[in-house]
Structure 1
Amino acid sequence: MTTDTIADNLGVPVPDLWKGAHRDDRTRPRSRQRLLGPSSIGLCRRRAAYEVHGTWPTDLADNMHAAILGTWLHEGILRVLREQYGAHTELELTDGVILGHADAYWAPGTPHPRATDAQAADMGVVEDVKTKSTRALDVVVRQGPSQAEWFQVHLYAHLLRTGGLKDHPQLPTGEPLPVDVVRLRYVGREYGQVVVHQRAYDEDVTQQALAWAEDVLASPEPEAMPRDLDGPGLSIICDNCPFKTACWNLDQLADDGRAPQTILAENTESITEALRAYADAAEVESAAKKRKAKARKMLDAADAGTYGAFRLSWSGGNPRPPEPDPEAMIRIIEGLGVGIPMRSGGRSSRTIGVSRVPEAG
């Protein structure tokens, strides 16, 4: 819902919160920058190329409520890190090609009101804060940070270490600043869960990120870069990409329900490759389903609890309320001699069949 719901309309104008919030969000410096940002590096090369080439967004959504809530929460988190733990926050960093804003930085030995021995260690630390939905946070718990997230925080460290800090009231600008540790802090938007990953700064990771950026910066046009994600409907990043229509030619798709990914199968070679991928995945999926089904049967009588590196929990199993019995309803209607109301059945969904052609003897 993009407008406020007014329960008691007295004729008094009520400012629309979300319309104003979206206008405010689009005026932020990070929304208007044209240099390549660390948060875009490692994500999708074509999206990054659209940014580098100054392409005007084709998809400015007005339903990014969760993202804006995350921005508001983010601001509060940085205030706490700054006021309670002595962090320098929102540091503008650039080398003239990459422009970013590091969330928090502690110089070696930074004093702060609530210091502990560990926090006061003589090490430079740069931190990036990310707000996540509960589902996305669960992915972080299970799989750890993504490569793009490690790229981002390492690039902040790199820019600090190479004198990329600009216009700061307390820290020396244009001079190398020590960074020994990079940290990612994830905060759940719904319940405030916190997950932290940190590691020693790794120059190899930085070089991989810089090589990725150089590839994009050398592109003659966005279309020269590959799509690194799976596309609308398969990737939440693509679903919310400001260049979604331009990237996937959504305005040229026939109105027949075709998936955007059909543009990837333009010739016999690409169709053959898609068939190979489908057949390979189907075979792996079939074997995995069998293993999963057996394991599920084995666990049917197990109590909830922690077993080694795994936590088992159960949900459901509650009695359901009564529900209509369609077959009994039909028998009653037929017994009354009344015709059963019918509606169009539409079309059945298409079912794909993929099999391997036997090799010629």
Structure 2
Amino acid sequence: MNRAELEAQRRQLEDALAAVFRTATAANHHDPGALSISGLGGCTRRAAYQLARYAPTDDHSHQEQRASHLGQATHDWVLPRLAAQLGHELTLVEHDVILPVRGLKIPGRLDLFTPAIGGGLLVDLKTHGYDQGDDGDEPSRARLLQLYGYATALRLMGYLIRAVAVVPMSRIHGGTSGVWIGEFGSKQEAFVDARVRDLLRHAKAPAFAPRDAHRGPGLDLTCDSCPYMTRCWPGAEPPRLPRCAPMPTSSPMPLATPKPPHRRGTGRRRRSTTWPRSVGPARADTRPTATKWRSKPPRAGSAWIKPARRSS
């Protein structure tokens, strides 16, 4: 079996794997033009378009979204087992809620709520790749708005919420370092209400709403999957990156023979780095100012140093 046949089989396997994720995306695709609780802390311009009921300009139901599906698979495996370990009859797992605020009814789905810890704890599981945990620091504003939105909806449904927690879990090794827990009360509810008030104000002119430092298609994953990408960034398209490098169809090229080290007196010294000179590492000039532009000290009477007068 030659390399061309192996390459064809590899591509067939890769296409099958990609089809698995694309099928899952199409099956779980929700209404991209509706604002959800998870989008309260997201891009302000996107939320403004959704509240203004603008029709989406981009369809992302054909994308693979592998990280999202792997994160959902982790939720489906961890959360039911965590609820069984807590063992409380009022524990809710991936429960749908509605947040009624300022005349809106914003839907959402929380991860886990249990009265077994502290009398009422809302847990949000966040999966990430590699070592991207928060190390116990306070979560971002976007994450807190999402969590407080779930807690507010539960409290309005009659549940007692005393605290909220964010559990970052690595999809690589399952580590949960950086678990954060904070209190929940009227101050946090007012935070959610103020955010919805601002979004309603921006919905009157969505095109002028801030993008919240998102850099655009090809530079930001949020922009790449936004249903209003074309409207927000006219003429821009996210780049299509290959899933993996293709298998070489010919024998690999031999390694280059390393050059001998530089010896003094054999010619001009070569630079030891392959970086361009304009972007190379900067070196601080620690030489005295008087000798910065001359290799030898200037003599008396020169244009650089005025000769000293003799004392009479």
Distance in structure 1 (CA, Å) of the matches to 2:207 and 2:155: 34
8 Å CA contact 1:229, 1:238 repeated in 2 = no
The answer to whether structure 1 residue 188 and structure 2 residue 170 are counterparts is yes
TM-superposed CA distance for 1:224, in Å, is: 3.5
The answer to whether structure 1 residue 225 and structure 2 residue 209 are counterparts is yes
Q: 1:77-92 counterparts in 2 under 5 A?
A: 77-86=78-87, 87-92=91-96
The two structures have a TM-score, normalised by structure 1, of 0.55
CA deviation string 1:24-70 (max 9, x = no partner): 233327x3265422211122210212333253252626242122211
8 Å CA contact 1:126, 1:179 repeated in 2 = yes
Query: Closer, same or farther in 2 for the Cα pair 1:81/1:225, shift >3 Å?
Result: same
TM-superposed CA distance for 1:156, in Å, is: 0.8
Q: How many residues align?
A: 232
The higher radius of gyration belongs to 2
RMSD: 3.7
Report the equivalent of 1:272: none
Report the equivalent of 1:161: 155
Distance in structure 2 (CA, Å) of the matches to 1:155 and 1:231: 26
CA deviation string 1:269-297 (max 9, x = no partner): xxxxxxxxxxxxxxxxxxxxxxxxxxxxx
Question: For residue 179 of structure 2, what is the amino acid of its counterpart?
Answer: V
Report the equivalent of 2:146: 152
Distance in structure 2 (CA, Å) of the matches to 1:142 and 1:209: 23
The answer to whether structure 1 residue 324 and structure 2 residue 258 are counterparts is yes
Distance in structure 2 (CA, Å) of the matches to 1:57 and 1:326: 59
Report the equivalent of 1:259: none
Q: Secondary structure at the match of 2:160?
A: coil
Greater RCO, 1 or 2 (C-alpha within 8 Å, sep 6+) = 2
Equivalent pairs: percent with the same residue? 25
Q: Secondary structure at the match of 2:111?
A: strand
The two structures have a TM-score, normalised by structure 2, of 0.63
Name stretches of at least 5 consecutive residues in structure 2 with no aligned partner: 238-254, 263-276, 280-312
Distance in structure 1 (CA, Å) of the matches to 2:59 and 2:137: 30
175, 180, 184: which is aligned to 1:197? 180
TM-superposed CA distance for 1:127, in Å, is: 1.1
Report the equivalent of 2:18: 18
Query: Closer, same or farther in 2 for the Cα pair 1:224/1:84, shift >3 Å?
Result: same
TM-superposed CA distance for 1:129, in Å, is: 0.9
Question: For residue 86 of structure 2, what is the amino acid of its counterpart?
Answer: Y
Q: 1:1-361 counterparts in 2 under 5 A?
A: 16-28=16-28, 31-32=30-31, 34-52=33-51, 53-58=53-58, 60=60, 62-86=63-87, 87-94=91-98, 95=100, 96-107=104-115, 110=116, 119=117, 121=118, 123-137=119-133, 140-141=134-135, 143-163=137-157, 176-194=158-176, 195-218=178-201, 219-232=203-216, 235-251=220-236, 324-325=258-259
TM-superposed CA distance for 1:15, in Å, is: 8.3
Query: Closer, same or farther in 2 for the Cα pair 1:160/1:323, shift >3 Å?
Result: farther
Name stretches of at least 5 consecutive residues in structure 1 with no aligned partner: 111-118, 164-175, 253-320, 329-347, 351-361
CA deviation string 1:220-242 (max 9, x = no partner): 35313221123135544334434
